Structure 1
Amino acid sequence: MKSFLKTFFASFLALIIFSVLALVIGIWILSAVVQPDKPAIGQKAVLVLDLNKIYNEQEKENPIASITGDESGNSPGLYDVVRLLHYAKQDSTVKGLYIKAGSNMNGFGASEELRNAVLDFKQSRKFVIAYGETIDQKSYYVSTAANKIYCHPQGGIDWDGFSVTYLFMKGLLDKLGIEPQVFYAGKYKSATEPFRFTKMSEPSRLQTTDMLNDLYSILLKTTAAARNIDTATLHSLSVNGVIRSANDALNNKLVDGLKYDDEVKDEIINLLKLKNTDKINFTELNEYGAAVPYKKSGNGDKIALIYANGDIVGGKGDDEQIGSDKFVELIRKARLDNDVQAIVFRVNSPGGSSLASDAIWREITLAKKAKPVVVSMGDYAASGGYYISCNADSVFANAGTITGSIGVFSLLPNMQKLFNEKLGLTFDGVKTGPYADMGSVNRPLTETEKRFLQASVDSIYYTFKSRVAEGRKTNIDYVDSIAQGHVYTGERAIMLKLVDRTGTLQDAVECAARMAGTKNYWLKEYPEKKTFWQEITNADNFVESNSEKAIVKKIGAEQYQMLQRVKNVKELMQAPQARLPFDMNIY
């Protein structure tokens, strides 16, 4: 019987493996043989900009979708959206743009890029209509670029101002018997405050207030110019809680009308001069991107565009991280390629490992000696994200970019009380020297060990400030006066000379071309797009992506982000960090 079962299960396992391999190979062969034609856009197309979608720095593509024809899982990158709208401006088949303005899932920097792209498209005199049932403030910010803004008669506009809420864990850690041993440099470096305090420190409250006020000011000034309402009136509407319904929004000129979905579509039909029975040719951006040649390729001089998106970590990292080994290799490849005339480094990162940041900084420094290097900052380029940006020839940021945060911290938990008193666990062992087990979580650090760790953090902080002083061509005393872990918006960072100018990624590309002395250029983008085979065989990413979607669907995006923050605590304990204080979700 044992022999039978052994043979049966071995055969069953072999059958499963064979079936999976057959499926993968079959899909691969099918994709190679069945190459779908470029989709036809048709006449009188209306492009759809859906603000509910997250437009990542690079395109997200579902490999199965290219076979099944279901493009809903695909999403163009942020810069792709910008280039698509620019191309559509001259495309006679595209007659207008429809903005789905519900909840904007993109950050302030990305929203600024999107809004500027809509303004550029509108120069073609094609119509732009924004519509949402209820429109949040970031969606409204983008929508102010439209010709008309409509909301549902029973919906409305969120016009209550911005807020940010931080999660503090000290009370939980106290109950568990976990003592956070914290070492930091910079009085505003508040990334460790959730472990030390139960509420914000005054320096943290001050910098967060300044940051929110800057972002709020951008919203007010933009809205004032677009809607012809002065900023004082707009601010009064917010602080007095005037906008409570769709009618309030209409009466105070924040929207152009209250309409149901069918009424908005009727207006678009009239603009297109169609019959009432005709169907509007709504075209998603990913479909449009598959149909038109919106990217220049292969002709003229080559400029490398390197996207650095996510937390900065040692090693190669994953697709959502900036792994130092991977990005050193990418920058070096562009540096040594004689055909590359300039490098544009797009940074969208809250920071991370200080050691990994320094490795990338070094390669940027070497590249700058060989050819022009221009940085474009996204939603975030803070702490480690600023570290890897500061030594470029020119640094661009959006007005709403979160940057600065020049500071360092290190965190090590002492879990002795948890182990001994809560769990009844004790530890014993031997060592060849007094510091051989330094960093063990089962005992507190000695005073000497604490001095070692603080000295290490202070040394890294000094190096960080030195890098900034060198890159920004100033002295270390000045850098120290504006550093201290302080977070700034891009607009304020220009005044402090941490950033050269406000501008989009396209502005940074054009600057790099000018510095390289070329007008005829094309972009080679890194990390390079994975092949179909690489995507389909990357089972781990496929499973992780679908698991994440399932969890978000069950518990909601905000709750999932909270879980991610708790998970990230482990990473904070691995090495000294140059990282943005908190994970900022601004509403």
Structure 2
Amino acid sequence: MRFLKVFLASLLALIVFTAIGIITLMVFIGKAITPEKVTVAPNSVLVLETSQAYEEQQQINPLAQFLGDDGGNIPGLFQTVRLIENATDDDNIKGIYLKVNGNGNGFATNEELRLALTRFRKSGKFVYAYGEVMGQQDYYVASSADKVYLNPKGGMDFNGFSSQILFLKGTLDRLEIKPEIFYCGKFKSATEPLRETKMTDANRAQTTQFLGELYGTFLTDIGAARKLDTATLHGYANQALIQEPADALKYKLVDGLKYDDEVQAELRSKLNIGADAKISFVSLTKYTDATTLSDGSGDSKIALIYAEGDIVSGDSQRDRTIASDNYVRDIRKAREDNKVKAVVFRVNSGGGSALASEVIWRELSLTKKVKPVIVSMGDYAASGGYYISCMADSIFAQPNTLTGSIGVFGVMFNLSDFFNHKLGVTFDGVKTAEYADLGTTARPMTDAEKRLIQNGVDSTYATFKSRVVAGRKLDAAIVDSIAQGHVWSGVQAVKLGLVDRLGGINDALASAAKVAKLSNYTLVEYPEVKPSVSKVLRSMGNKVQTSMVKKELGENYDIYQQIKDVKAQHGQIQAKMPFEYKFY
């Protein structure tokens, strides 16, 4: 009897505890999904941080929202640009304080932010930038400010660009893992880390070319802002003249050497408030919660569809993933909505599955037959990212967008020696047909099997080029000469006919409105940002898992991620960037 009483009491306690936990969780999620409204005080200063990584669409951090911390509602890139534009006409916002403390974004993203800050300044409001240590990409954004201040004991990197690639061939050799590699295009260097120990001549040539063009844009924009010619700026880097903060001041890269409190004292003077008065700083995340951006007016709509991340087949709920089934649904929805008069397809992707790219291309091609389709390219729109872009009526890219990479590859792995010699594992089996076990990692491929795979790669490459020929209205021979897996900058892509114009998302929207003959329209965005309980929990889990792995691996995280990507590529024909370029 005593046991029964203890058991029932424990069971009741467990039920009560579980109920309280569920209620608490639901309150937590409810607060995360519907944050409290924030009010912006008069005479405020909007704070932007160069270290913030801006994805294409809004990101929600429910834990931060629940705890009341900044970072709970991180706006997407275009949303940030619109918020800066909104601040231009917001009487409560007097200026922007740009905290320069690292950079988590690509070249084209930084260009979008920089242009938005430049437009903000033209309204007559101020932009002050301050940093303790400035890297080249953060300084690039900061150079658009009225005043750029550097900590007197801080530092600045102004040594030029470099690109470094991680090669895995030596590791695979030691492990006796033998990749079977199939590719089309002499510049299609995606598989180089698996088959080489250093860059091929072709890859070195293309990387040297586009890196030089990115660097040229970097110098030109900074030179225009700081009233210095590009040759002078290049000389600073080439001679390593910027070693101390005093050097940055001497060579006119910054306007002064000040501590944060001194910069804030200058801001108080600018705001006409007392020396001891508290400045009303408003973070971008709080300004997001305080601002309702207008999506326009009128019955006619323009659909803005964001495509960011790896291109994969099927359905996926992972962040930064372009899953073909999901995008077919969204594109079809926009096409079948008679009120949607044009589509702007925003692409920020280095590619992925060639088949998934073809599926998305098909749906966009059908849409183009009934309404204009305009593409806006972000940091990357290469390989599969270019595949899903090439059919557009018009394509916009930033000067420093990386695009092209028209080529495909496939990788199969022979793990038989690894399993046998390293682990003592062997394999055996039976099959009913000659090619029934094609793709197995347990044995080397036969010559006949290699021909089958290469034929598939060749066929996919031919299809890819035919899509470019039709979409860009170029001669097949010209496309073949500029394809070959070659990566191009936005500037070169315009010259080659792969891109129509240089410009950002606003330019693409203006073009779509013009082609669709719309003076007024309502902007609708896809995929729809609509947090659900499952998405909040999944997002939290993914962020915690990624954070733990990064913390454990440290600098080795990139190696871990590259090995994961290689594993995922086994047996699939890929239209993907050579690798994620790391610039220093």
| Contact 1:180/1:411, CA 8 A, preserved across alignment | yes
1:562 pairs with 526, 544, 559, which one? 559
Shift of 1:221: 0.8
Specify the alignment match of 2:71 in structure 1.
72
Structure 1 residue matching 2:344: 3-state secondary structure = strand
Alignment partner of 1:524 is 2:493:
no
Check whether the contact 1:83–1:295 (CA below 8 A) recurs between aligned residues. Answer: no
Indicate the residue corresponding to 1:264 in structure 2.
263
Helix, strand or coil at the partner of 1:274: coil
Name the amino acid aligned to 1:550. Answer: M
1:117 corresponds to 2:116: yes
Shift of 1:20: 4.2
SS at match of 2:265: helix
- Equivalence for 1:343: 343
CA distance in 2, matches of 1:104, 1:465: 36
The change in CA–CA distance for 1:403 and 1:29 in structure 2 (over 3 A counts) is: closer
Between the aligned partners of 1:112 and 1:566, the Cα distance in structure 2 is 31
- Following TM superposition, by how much is the alpha carbon of 1:37 offset from its aligned partner in structure 2, in angstroms? 5.3
Q: CA deviation at 1:534?
A: 4.5
Amino acid at match of 1:149: V
The amino acid of 2:397's aligned partner reads A
Is the 1:382–1:404 contact (alpha carbons within 8 Å) kept by the matching residues of 2?
A: yes
Unaligned runs of 5+ in 2: none
Listed one character per residue, the Cα deviations across residues 370-409 of structure 1 (whole Å, up to 9, x for unaligned) are 1111000011000000000000111000111110000000
Read off the aligned partner of 1:25 and give its amino acid letter.
Answer: M
Partner in structure 1 of residue 220 of structure 2: 221
Q: CA deviation at 1:131?
A: 0.9
Partner of 1:383: 383
What does residue 197 of structure 2 align with?
198
2:31 and 2:65 in contact (8 A); partners too: no
Counterpart secondary structure, 1:569: helix
2:89 corresponds to: 90
What residue in structure 2 maps to residue 310 of structure 1?
309
Equivalent AA in structure 2 for residue 371 of structure 1? K
For residue 357 of structure 1, what is the aligned residue in structure 2? 357
State the TM-score, normalizing by the size of structure 2: 0.95
2:550 aligned residue:
552
Flag the 1:533–1:151 CA change in 2: closer, same or farther, 3 A. same
Deviations 1:140-198 (A, max 9, x none): 11111111111111112211001111110111101101111000000000000101011
Shift of 1:30: 6.7
In 1: Cα distance, 2:245 partner to 2:67 partner: 41
| Inter-partner Cα distance in structure 1 for 2:321 and 2:108 | 19
Structure 2 match to 1:584: 581
For the residues of structure 1 that align with 2:389 and 2:564, how far apart are their CA atoms? Answer: 27
Residue 416 of structure 1 deviates from its aligned partner by 1.1
- Does the C-alpha gap of structure 1 residues 15 and 569 become closer, same or farther in structure 2, counting only changes over 3 Å? farther
SS where residue 582 of structure 2 aligns?
coil
- The alignment partner of 1:371 has SS state of coil
Contact 1:63 1:535 in 2 (8 A): no
Query: Is the Cα–Cα contact under 8 Å of residues 190 and 577 in structure 2 kept in the other structure?
Result: yes
Partner of 2:494 in structure 1? 494
Q: Deviations over 1:503-539 (max 9, x none)?
A: 0111101111111111211211111112353544xx3
Could you tell me whether the CA contact under 8 Å between 1:95 and 1:272 is conserved in 2?
A: yes
Query: Contact 2:406–2:484 at 8 Å: present in 1 too?
Result: yes
CA apart distance, 1:70: 2.8
The count of aligned residue pairs is 580
Q: Which amino acid aligns with 1:346?
A: R
Shift of 1:321: 0.4
Q: When the two structures are superposed, what TM-score results if normalisation uses the length of structure 1?
A: 0.95
Q: Distance in 2 between matches of 1:11 and 1:548?
A: 37
Aligned partners of 2:40 and 2:287 also within 8 Å: yes
Structure 1 match to 2:470: 470
Identity percentage of aligned residues: 49
After TM superposition, the structure 1 stretch with the greater mean CA deviation from structure 2, 22-31 or 307-316, is: 22-31
Change (3 A) 1:422 1:105: same
CA 1:355/1:276 → structure 2, altered by over 3 Å: closer, same or farther? same
Summarize deviations over 1:237-274 as a string: whole Å, max 9, x none: 11111111111111111111111111111111110011
Whole-Å Cα distance in 2 between the matches of residues 69 and 254 of structure 1?
37
What's the counterpart of residue 278 of structure 1?
277
Residues 437-457 of structure 1: per-residue CA shift (max 9 Å, x gap)? 111001010001001100100
For residues 300 and 121 of structure 1, do their structure 2 counterparts lie closer, same or farther at Cα, with a shift above 3 Å needed?
Answer: farther
Does the Cα contact within 8 Å between 1:63 and 1:532 map onto a contact in 2?
no
- Mapped to 1, the partners of 2:165 and 2:328 lie a distance apart of 34
Contact 2:439 2:571 in 1 (8 A): no
Any conservation in 2 of the 1:345–1:375 contact (CA below 8 Å)? yes
Write the distance in 1 (CA, Å) between the matches of 2:65 and 2:235.
Answer: 50
Q: CA deviation at 1:561?
A: 2.8
> Which residue of 2 is the match for residue 99 of structure 1?
98
Residues 410-559 of structure 1 correspond to what in structure 2 (within 5 A)?
410-536=410-536, 539-556=537-554, 558-559=555-556
Q: Following the alignment from structure 1 to structure 2, what is the Cα–Cα distance between the partners of residues 500 and 9?
A: 70
SS at match of 1:188: coil
Q: Secondary structure at the match of 1:470?
A: helix
Does structure 2 retain, via aligned residues, the 8 Å contact 1:465–1:480?
yes
Q: 1:493 to 1:31 in 2, by over 3 A?
A: closer
Residues 474-531 of structure 1, C-alpha deviation per residue, up to 9 Å, x if partnerless? Answer: 1221100000000011111000100000101111011111111112112111111123
Offset at 1:236? 1.1
Q: Structure 1 residues 65 and 169 mapped into 2: Cα distance closer, same or farther (>3 Å)?
A: closer
